Amino acid sequence: MYKWLIIGGGIQGTTLAVHLVKSRKASIKDLAVIDPHERPLECWKRNTGRIQMKYLRSPSVHHVDTEPFSLQMYADKSQWPEVFFGRYKRPSLSLFNQHCEAVLDEIHIEQAWKTGTVTDLRRTNGLWEAETDAAGTITGERVVLAMSFSHQPSWPEWAKPFQNDGIYHVFDRDVDDVRNESVQMAVVGGGITAAHYAIKLADDGHDVTMLVRHPFRIYDFDSDPGWLGPKYMKAFSKTSDYQKRRQWITSARHRGSFPKDISRTLAVYREEGRVKVIQDDIDSCQKTVDGKIQIHGKNSESPYEYERIALATGFTSDISRFEWVQRAAQAEQLPYAGCGFPIVGQDLQWGKGLYVMGAFAELEIGPTARNISGARKAAYTIAHTAKHTF
């Protein structure tokens, strides 16, 4: 039996594991980190690598370790080249990943790792039992929901008939890479993922068009930094109106945006003719006799035609797809807000010994809940609710 079951081994779950061990709230042998992948952060690395992200959007103080300047100190010791970008010291992806590996090696995360997908969760005799498809039933005193929605790529209705038949989502797990020779590509989306991926495809020699619904939105971060502290969070935490909290979260997030440096790069690529941008709202699509895909936009009389289409349309935030969470919540009579997300306490406890992080905690953490900064805040909160050390 374990003291903590952490379901999800991405940024959220690994950050919590580090905080629990380094704050001496638990030893690594007290933890079971349950994740479908073979290694920590595998999904994070696959997705960021696929779009060839060079620098993170977040500053250097946002990482998986407990000390704020851990990443900067690691870079200094390692003499890492091209480590930070801009005045916010945004770390390179390679540095960030290497630092994650070093920190996780330090706590011996492999001793806690359980590869498997959770299929059921129940509370029996005061303990939590997580049933998995590969690691059997794992029992713990406490359980933390630290899953993301990365397994739920969002597909527009018009694209679904051609799923993996000329149209793919950038973050599909088993997507085939675009072949080497030049291809007429459309990237659907106007946010940071679409921008990164369009630049990557252009660098690979493809003929790239970005199809966007709105003009480019330029923001340094995906929400105002005021949401990291009391400037905005004081009023957010004070209200017990969860509909209002949801409205604040929605309006605070700069969805479909990217920072100035990516905007400048895109401007250069557009000037050079390497990336084209069309603003339109896609209505439908169809295949031609020669296998190309025609897209019909609401603002154009003639269709747009491409060989392949990549969707950079984000993820679907549908908690109901975690059916085992729904069953556990029903059995324990756990509260939900009208938006379908958990209502939790300030300690991020949803039910007796059941904690949440990431999107599951956003009605308490706020707009930053899904980010690295939100992972750090949730990990600190949960770690310091533990009542005993080893």
Nearest to 153 by CA among 31, 314, 262: 314
Q: Domain check: are 124 and 207 in the same one? A: no
**pLDDT tops 60 at residue 147:** yes
Cα–Cα dist 212/194, whole Å: 9
My answer on whether 122 and 176 are in the same domain is no
Per-residue pLDDT tens digits for 99-120 = 999 999 999 999 999 999 999 9
Same domain flag for 47 and 81:
yes
Amino acid 123 reads R
Q: Which two tokens stand for residue 301?
A: 């009389």
343 and 206 in a common domain: no
Residues 41 and 136 in one domain: yes
- Note the pLDDT of residue 390: 39
Confidence at 389, pLDDT banded by 50, 70, 90? very low
- Sequential DSSP letters for 245-297: HHHHHHHHS-TTEE-HHHHHHHHHHHHTTSEEEEE--EEEEEE-TTS-EEEEE
Contact 185, 307 (CB under 8 A): yes
* 177 and 136, same domain (yes or no): no
Asked whether residue 242 is assigned to any structural domain, the reply reads no
Regarding whether 126 and 192 lie in a shared domain, the answer is no
272 shares its domain with 378: no
- 30 in any annotated domain: yes
Number of domains in the chain: 2
Does the reported pTM lie above 0.85?
Answer: yes
In a domain, 247, yes or no: no
Q: Residue 161: which CATH number?
A: 3.50.50.60
Name the residue range of residue 213's domain: 157-219+254-311
Question: Tokens 């920072």 — which residue?
Answer: 259
pLDDT above 80: residue 125: yes
182 and 126, same structural domain? no
Q: Are residues 31 and 74 in the same domain?
A: yes
Angle at 324 between CA 28 and CA 100, to 5 degrees: 35
Q: 177 falls in which pLDDT band (50, 70, 90)?
A: low
The pLDDT of residue 323 is above 80:
yes
User: What average pLDDT does the chain have?
Assistant: 95
State pLDDT tens for residues 126-137.
999 999 999 899
Provide the pLDDT confidence category of residue 387 given band limits of 50, 70 and 90.
Answer: low
